[in-house]
C-alpha cells in the first residue's frame, strides 16, 4: 500500500494533532455520524477506511477530509502501514455483522486497539480472539450513554435480586431501521438480566420489526426517523395476570451512539497510551508513540466507560 495519502494528511496538519481514529464502515450512516462527532471533539480522522469490496478505491469527503476506502483485499498490509504512521491509532468498527470476527482478528493480528460497535458475529469467539492477542478493546452492543446507564441499573437489579420475577412471562419487541440485519444486542443484554431475575425467555422469541409501515402504525416511529431509530419494549406479566411491568427505551437518530463511541475512544486511549499523567490531554502528537501503560484488564465495555466518569 502507498501511504502517500496518510503522509500528505499528516504534513498538512500541525504536529500537535489529536488522538488518531480510523472509522471502518465510514460510508454508513453510523460511520458518518461518528466522524462528525469525532471531528467536533477534536479527534484526528485518519483518511483511510475499510468497507465492502465495491467501496475499494472510492474517496468520500467528510468534515472537509477525503477518506480513501479499501475493500477486503490487502487489509493487513494497509492497516499495518496506517498503524506505523499513527502509532497511537484507535480503530472504530461499525461495519456489518458478517465481518465482525474477521475484522477483530485483523485488528488483533496487527496489534491495533479498537472499539467494536458492530453487533452480531460470534461474540464468544470475538472475546476469545481479543483475550489471546493482548490487544485492548472496548466491545459493546450499545454505545448510547443513557441506555448504557439503564443497562447497568438492570444488571445491578439482576445481581441484587435474583429470581425476583420468577414465573413472570416476558414479551419483547424491538424496532430498528430495515438495514439492521441482526437482532438488537441491547435487547439481548436486557433479556439476560431478566433471565437472572427468574424469567424464562428464549432469544428467538424477540419480535423484530423492520417493516416501515408497521413501525409507523404499530410502534409509533416518527416517519423522519424510519431510517435511523432504535425502539425497545419489554413487557412483564405475573402468572395470574394481575401484575404487569413495562420497560421502554426509544432512540431516534444516531447522535447518542456517535457521542458514546467518541467517549469510548478517549477512554481506551487513556487506558493504553498514557502513563504517569493524572489527566488526559485531548491533543497529542499523532506520529509520536507514547509510553504505554499495561492495565491488567484489556477488554472493556461501555459500562466501564460510564463507571470511570469518561462521559463528556
Among 17, 23, 19, which Cα is nearest to 261's?
23
Pairing of strands 244-252, 229-237: antiparallel
Question: Which is more confidently placed, 252 or 291?
Answer: 252
Flag whether pLDDT at 89 surpasses 70.
yes
Could you say which of 32, 70, 145, 180 is catalytic? 180
Flag whether pLDDT at 297 surpasses 90.
no
Among 250, 209, 206, which Cα is nearest to 229's?
250
CA distances, 283 to each of 20, 42, 112, 271, 286 (Å): 10, 8, 19, 15, 9
CATH 3.30.360.10 in the chain, residue ranges: 145-252
Spell out a b/e string for 161-198, using b for 16 or more CB atoms within 10 Å of the CB, else e: eeeebeebebebbbbbbeebebbbbbbbbbbbbbbbbe
CA distance 14 to 6: 14
At 310 the pLDDT is 57
CA 160 to chain centre: 28
Question: What average pLDDT does the segment 284-297 reach?
Answer: 53
CA dihedral 206, 210, 215, 217 (to 10 degrees): -90
Name the grid cell of 291.
Answer: 509510553
Kind plus residue range of the DSSP H or E element containing 261: helix 255-273
CA distance 279 to 289: 18
Q: Select the highest-mean-pLDDT range: 16-25, 113-122, 235-244, 289-298.
A: 235-244
User: Is 180 one of the catalytic residues?
Assistant: yes
**pLDDT tens, 218-277?**
999 999 999 999 999 999 999 999 999 999 999 999 999 999 999 999 999 998 765 334
At 311 the pLDDT is 61
- CATH class, domain 145-252, is alpha beta
CA distance 245 to 168: 10
CA distance 226 to 204: 24
User: Is 188 one of the catalytic residues?
Assistant: no
Is the domain spanning 4-143+255-307 CATH 3.40.50.720? The answer is yes
Q: What is the DSSP letter of 28?
A: S
Flag whether pLDDT at 168 surpasses 80.
yes
CATH 3.40.50.720 in the chain, residue ranges: 4-143+255-307
Could you say which of 44, 145, 176, 232 is catalytic? 176
Radius of gyration of the chain (CA): 20
Amino acid at each position: 500500500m502507498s501511504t502517500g495519502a496518510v503522509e500528505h494528511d499528516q504534513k498538512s496538519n500541525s504536529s500537535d494533532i489529536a488522538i488518531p481514529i480510523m472509522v471502518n464502515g465510514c460510508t454508513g450512516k453510523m460511520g458518518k455520524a461518528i466522524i462528525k462527532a469525532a471531528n467536533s471533539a477534536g479527534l484526528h480522522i485518519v483518511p483511510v477506511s475499510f468497507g465492502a469490496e465495491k467501496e475499494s478505491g472510492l474517496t468520500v469527503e467528510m468534515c472537509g477530509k477525503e477518506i480513501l476506502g479499501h475493500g477486503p483485499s490487502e487489509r493487513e498490509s494497509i492497516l499495518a502501514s496506517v498503524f506505523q504512521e499513527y502509532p497511537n491509532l484507535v480503530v472504530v468498527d461499525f461495519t456489518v455483522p458478517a465481518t465482525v470476527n474477521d475484522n477483530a482478528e485483523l485488528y488483533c493480528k496487527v496489534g491495533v486497539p479498537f472499539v467494536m460497535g458492530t453487533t452480531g458475529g460470534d461474540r464468544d469467539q470475538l472475546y476469545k480472539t481479543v483475550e489471546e492477542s493482548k490487544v485492548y478493546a472496548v466491545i459493546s452492543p450499545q454505545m448510547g450513554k443513557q441506555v448504557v446507564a439503564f443497562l447497568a441499573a438492570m444488571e445491578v437489579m439482576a445481581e441484587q435480586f435474583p429470581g425476583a420475577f420468577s414465573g413472570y412471562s416476558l414479551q419483547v419487541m424491538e424496532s430498528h431501521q430495515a438495514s439492521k440485519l441482526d437482532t438488537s444486542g441491547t435487547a439481548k443484554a436486557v433479556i439476560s438480566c431478566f433471565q437472572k431475575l427468574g424469567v424464562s425467555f428464549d432469544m428467538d422469541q424477540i419480535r423484530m420489526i423492520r417493516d416501515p409501515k408497521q413501525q409507523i402504525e404499530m410502534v409509533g416511529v416518527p416517519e423522519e426517523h424510519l431510517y435511523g431509530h432504535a425502539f425497545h419494549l419489554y413487557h412483564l406479566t405475573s402468572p395470574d395476570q394481575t401484575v404487569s411491568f413495562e420497560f421502554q427505551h426509544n432512540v431516534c437518530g444516531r447522535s447518542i451512539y456517535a457521542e458514546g463511541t467518541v467517549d469510548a475512544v478517549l477512554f481506551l486511549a487513556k487506558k493504553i497510551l498514557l502513563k504517569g499523567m493524572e489527566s488526559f490531554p485531548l491533543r497529542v502528537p499523532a506520529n509520536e508513540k507514547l509510553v504505554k501503560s499495561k492495565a491488567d484488564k484489556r477488554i472493556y465495555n461501555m459500562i466501564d466507560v460510564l463507571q470511570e466518569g469518561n462521559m463528556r
